[in-house]
Amino acid sequence: MIPVQGYEGQKVAVLGLGRSGLATAAALRAGGAEPLCWDDSPEGRARAEEAGFACHDLTKPGAFEGVAALITSPGIPHLYPTPNKAIAAAMAAGVPVDNDIGLFFRSWASPEWDDFDTMPRVVAVTGSNGKSTTTALIHHILQSVGRPTQMAGNIGRGVLDIDPACDGEVVVLELSSYQTELARALTPDIAVFTNLSPDHLDRHGGLGGYFAAKRRLFSEGGPDRAVIGVDEPEGAFLANQIATAPEDDRLIRVSVSRKLGDWGWSVFARKGFLSEWRKGRQVASIDLRDVTGLPGAHNHQNACAAYAATRALGLAPRQIEAAFQSFAGLPHRSQTIAEKGGVRYVNDSKATNVDSAAKALDAFRNIRWIAGGLGKEGGVGALKEHLAHVRKAYFIGHSARDFALELGVEHEICETMERAVELAAAEAEAGDTVLLAPAAASFDQYPNFEKRGAHFIELVEALAG
């Protein structure tokens, strides 16, 4: 646990009592503060009371008298589409609003660091797609070379729940737009921006607000080195804002769409090969084509970003290449479940939007595509350009018929995952890939994408093969 600094002897309100909220309350108490906990649900309040925390109704008049700060969980809206009542009350009372990410960055360093030979460092990863895989890959590479490391944030443990730093340790954080938008301190040593595609637009008041939330990771204090995917206009803009000249190697540009050889430092992938260039010459190359844990161009982008970040930490190209080969990938993200009768079964339940589904569809050949769920705003028409390798689609969930009408691909309306897997497996031939890439949220049939993916895995494992 990281004891929170700066609030000793003060009352600090904590809103939202899920995993990160309870960890925040514990870290505040460990730092000498008095946490006042609240959750809009009785279940959340019961969890806090069971953990020994006092509940304090933050929606009542005068609730913020004598309160030094409000720490809110990332999923609770503070601006769009409508501010939570407790957050609005805190702002009206002039009480600073922060989150656990802000508390982490103000509390991470400790006096014990004076005795370390090598200062601990923080790598923070944000973006629309690929940030979980990139974060996990950086963590895996560090583990493979014996570097002390912890992984936290939007993946793994809550940031305040990790252990205090040891000599030379690297903490790798995945940060969502919800987390970067509100944190009052954002000071990573290395910051990574993977890419940008429309998502969470209602929460951020549009695409501009969404990008602005991501951009804060690079503007609030500024990292020592930035790794920026430049294949979208927003990434190119961000890179331009950071660099003082083309040769500025505090910035590492990343691409999977073109060669980047004319900058101070760049990493790009073309035709399955990763290349690192510095000051106009190539210094390293890695063949990614047979790295089973990183299939497709979207994962090659993740590989480039992780490579760049770990090179910035001083690792050698061959160390990174060896770690790539042992990376198994993340659950529910282009995860190969089984091969039965020459048919490959891939679980990409995390592909909840059009952009991530498109990347999955581009990564495989001879696809039997399972898609659908609770469709998102804007529809799935953009996927028409990515259907060349789809032999047949099997649509499930609330939006099954909408997907069928919008895409015009050969399909079957299956409604349920059971029927989709049964039919796709029966019709698949050797060399085919049965791919779950829903392009939709899971909430019509499952509580989250993990449960959806787990159900797919269960059904695949039950197939005779």
Note whether 75 and 119 are same-domain residues. Answer: no
In a domain, 5, yes or no: no
* Range with top average pLDDT, 157-171, 285-299, 348-362: 157-171
The answer on pLDDT for 418 being more than 80 is: yes
Strand-pair partners of 412: 394
Note whether 232 and 278 are same-domain residues. Answer: yes
pLDDT of residue 425: 97
pLDDT of residue 348: 94
What value does the mean pLDDT take over residues 207-212? 95
183 SS3 class: coil
pLDDT of residue 330: 87
| Of 222 and 386, the one with more pLDDT | 386
What value does the mean pLDDT take over residues 345-372? 94
Establish whether the linkage from the previous residue to 81 is cis, with ω within 30° of 0: yes
Q: Which of 98, 116, 143 is the last residue of a domain?
A: 98
pLDDT of residue 321: 97
Note whether 74 and 221 are same-domain residues. Answer: no
Domain that holds residue 450: 335-460
Strand-pair partners of 6: none
Strand-pair partners of 285: 275
Q: Which of 64, 98, 132 is the last residue of a domain?
A: 98
In a domain, 319, yes or no: yes
Residue stretches of the annotated binding site: 127-133
Note whether 396 and 253 are same-domain residues. Answer: no
Residue stretches of the annotated binding site for ATP: 127-133
Note whether 149 and 212 are same-domain residues. Answer: yes
pLDDT of residue 262: 85
Strand order in the sheet with 190-193: 149-153, 170-174, 121-126, 190-193, 225-229, 251-255, 265-270, 273-278, 281-287
* Segments in 294-448 forming alpha helices (H): 296-312, 317-325, 354-363, 400-407, 417-427
In a domain, 300, yes or no: yes
Note whether 238 and 380 are same-domain residues. Answer: no
Length of the chain: 465
The answer on pLDDT for 465 being more than 80 is: no
Note whether 80 and 49 are same-domain residues. Answer: yes
Note whether 234 and 125 are same-domain residues. Answer: yes
Q: 365 is written with which tokens?
A: 């050949």
| Of 361 and 334, the one with more pLDDT | 361
d(CA 298, CA 388): 17
**Cβ–Cβ under 8 Å, residues 191 and 218:** yes
The Cα-based distances of 247 to 178, 251, 309, 422, 458 in angstroms read: 33, 9, 18, 55, 51
Confidence of residue 356 (pLDDT cuts 50, 70, 90): confident
The answer on pLDDT for 302 being more than 70 is: yes
pLDDT tens per residue across span 65-105? 999 999 999 989 999 999 999 999 999 999 999 999 999 99
Given the DSSP bridges, would you call strands 170-174 and 121-126 parallel, antiparallel or unpaired?
parallel
The answer on pLDDT for 242 being more than 80 is: yes
Nearest to 296 by CA among 235, 253, 383, 357: 357
pTM of the model: 0.86
The answer on pLDDT for 464 being more than 80 is: no
What value does the mean pLDDT take over residues 175-181? 95
Nearest to 341 by CA among 432, 423, 424: 432
Which helix (H) or strand (E) is 409 found in, with range? none
The answer on pLDDT for 252 being more than 80 is: yes
The answer on pLDDT for 290 being more than 90 is: no
Confidence of residue 373 (pLDDT cuts 50, 70, 90): very high
pLDDT tens per residue across span 397-407? 999 999 999 99
